[in-house]
Amino acid sequence: MTEDALRRLPIALDARAMEARSEAELPRGSGWQYEPKFDGFRALAFRADGAAALTAKSGRPLARYFPEVAARLLALGVDDFVLDGELVIEGGGFSALQLRLHPAESRVRRLAAETPAALVLFDLLVAPGGRRLVDEPLSVRRAELERLFAKLAGAEGFRLAPATIELAEAERWLRRSGSGDYDGVVAKRLDGRYLCGERAMVKVKRVRTADCVVAGFRYLKDTKQVGSLLLGLYDDDGRLNHVGFTATISSSERPALTRGLQAMTTDRSFTGAAPGGPSRWSTEKSADWTPVRPELVVEVAFDQVTDARFRHGTRLVRWRPDKAPAQCRMEQLEA
């Protein structure tokens, strides 16, 4: 089902998902509902006129990459509804989802059979039969979603996201997040409408720190000034593995840091996984880096780990001259 076809449906609405703004802490007080933030692909699921569609929060179609989810939507015994949820692959994590974004249909269908995705449901925009709920408060939408989920009677491939109004439970979810199914916690007003495309929710991620070895660097584009530091951690076999990067280097620090790193260049630094090796992060630019002797240690802040790597760029907290590189170990990435 194309985006134009979605607009022509009897249940047509602004097909952009409601989004969240980042905050440092969970909101307190009455009137909030908390949900775990799942580490997957956000998706709106449409079922109408005997057809099913999945769209990303950008509005782009996803059913081509998750045909098994679209097929399960078609197999449900209800019609004319719109769900908001998260596509996840149990045991595969975010990297398994990314493998689906492949141009070869044969490969996508093979992966769909081998590692089927599930849709975790957390909101209902249009109730079965075409009744619009976007202007109803979350408390009403959640109750309708729970009724629909009960009606589905445990249909394969669909899960109901947990929800609570208890701050203590939400804080427990937050402490568990960062390297498993949960990517943080989302807070929503119980009296809030569904505002398509607006940042009307609050998301909070658990921020942790790790001491890492600086084992290489990349230059800023079109300059000879250091732009980012490549970070490594030692595994149980004593190999230094590339785990990510940090680019939060102040302009005043950059010239002296560049001179220091250039004086430390070497032929090889990473002895395990290295930038530019075969991985889903590899790009044409990923080989454009300079190894340095693994002697410097830096503390960085991070929020998410996937496949023993920082999912995003990290924030440089401080240099650690008091820390030996051999003390920087992979277990820091464990939950």
What pLDDT score does 280 carry?
42
Say which amino acid occupies 66.
Answer: F
Residue 218 to residue 18: CA distance in whole angstroms: 37
Beta strands 199-204 and 182-189: pairing type?
A: antiparallel
Catalytic residue among 37, 188, 203, 205: 37
Q: Which of the 8 DSSP states describes residue 265?
A: B
Longest dimension (CA), the chain: 69
pLDDT band at 1 (very low <50, low <70, confident <90, very high): low
pLDDT, tens digit, for every residue of 82-107? 999 999 998 888 888 989 998 899 99
Q: How confident is the model at residue 279 (pLDDT cuts 50, 70, 90)?
A: very low
Q: In this structure, what is the dihedral angle of CA atoms 17, 304, 246, 275, given to the nearest 10 degrees?
A: -100
13-17, 47-51, 137-141: range with lowest mean pLDDT:
13-17
Residue 283 has what pLDDT?
Answer: 43
CA 183, 117, 305: angle at the middle one, nearest 5? 25
Under the banding of pLDDT at 50, 70 and 90, the label for residue 277 is: very low
| Residue 14 confidence (pLDDT) | 65
CATH numbers and ranges of domains, the chain: 3-204 (3.30.470.30), 208-333 (2.40.50.140)
Mean pLDDT, rounded, of the chain: 90
Q: What is the pTM of this model?
A: 0.76
Count CB neighbours of 55 within 10 A.
22
- Averaged over 269-283, what is the pLDDT? 69
CB 31 within 8 A of CB 191: yes
- Angle, helix 67-75 to helix 105-114, in steps of 10 degrees: 60
Cα of first residue to Cα of last residue in the chain, in angstroms, is 40
**Residues 6 or more apart from 3 whose CB is under 8 A from it?**
15, 55, 59, 61
Q: Tens of pLDDT along 302-331?
A: 988 888 899 888 999 999 998 999 999 999
**48 pLDDT above the threshold of 90:** no
pLDDT at 225 over 70: yes
Q: Is 203 a catalytic residue?
A: no
Q: Which two tokens stand for residue 174?
A: 């937050």
**Amino acid found at 53:** A
pLDDT band for position 110 (50/70/90)? very high
CA distance to 72, 100, 136, 183, 232, per residue, from 66 (Å)? 10, 7, 30, 21, 34
**β-pair type (158-160, 131-132):** unpaired
DSSP assignments along 198-236, one per residue: SEEEEEE---EEEEEEEEEEEEPTTSSSEEEEEEEEE-T
